[in-house]
Amino acid sequence: MQRRNFIRLILFVVFFSVGAASLGISILCDDLVNYYRSKNDLAVGQQAVDKLKSLNADYDVLLEQLEKDPNLVKRLAPAALGTEPEDPNAVYPKATPEQLAAARKALAQDPNEQVKAPMLPNWLTRCSEPHRRTTLFIAGSFLILISFTCFAPKKQPPEK
């Protein structure tokens, strides 16, 4: 008798757990989708902040160099502005079109494109479809009903 009750208990736990999980997933599907989208947005924002921090560090180094060497402005101005150098004896290297294209590509990258994290897991994408959510809800409800109906402890007949 004890072995039967133990098997009934195991079957009750299995059926009830699977039913409650499918019922919970079908109900909380929208919240899970919002969670994963927010997680992705946070990763994109963090990546943008990291890029801005690195740019700030680069500009701080450049400003520090400009404070130390005032002639640096005279040397950088022709290269930055594209004007001819004032010193006739100075040789300034010209950038090749390939180098300019690589620089444009690096500067034009959108920080949102760099995130490689998947937006939603495949199981959540499938579960968020309306007909599958309905199926999960109905199946979970039936599993819970079956677990209470078929595997509930039997009442002992009253002893006289």
pLDDT tens for 14-57 read 999 999 999 999 999 999 999 999 999 999 899 999 999 998 99
pTM of the model: 0.61
Identify whether 149 is part of a domain: yes
pLDDT at 111 over 70: no
What is the domain count for the chain? 1
Residue 148, domain extent: 1-59+128-155
Identify whether 80 is part of a domain: no
pLDDT at 91 over 80: no
Identify whether 88 is part of a domain: no
Model confidence at 113, in pLDDT bands (50, 70, 90)? low
Identify whether 6 is part of a domain: yes
Identify whether 19 is part of a domain: yes
Identify whether 142 is part of a domain: yes
Dist. CA 141–CA 60, nearest whole Å = 62
Identify whether 3 is part of a domain: yes
Dist. CA 53–CA 35, nearest whole Å = 27
Identify whether 136 is part of a domain: yes
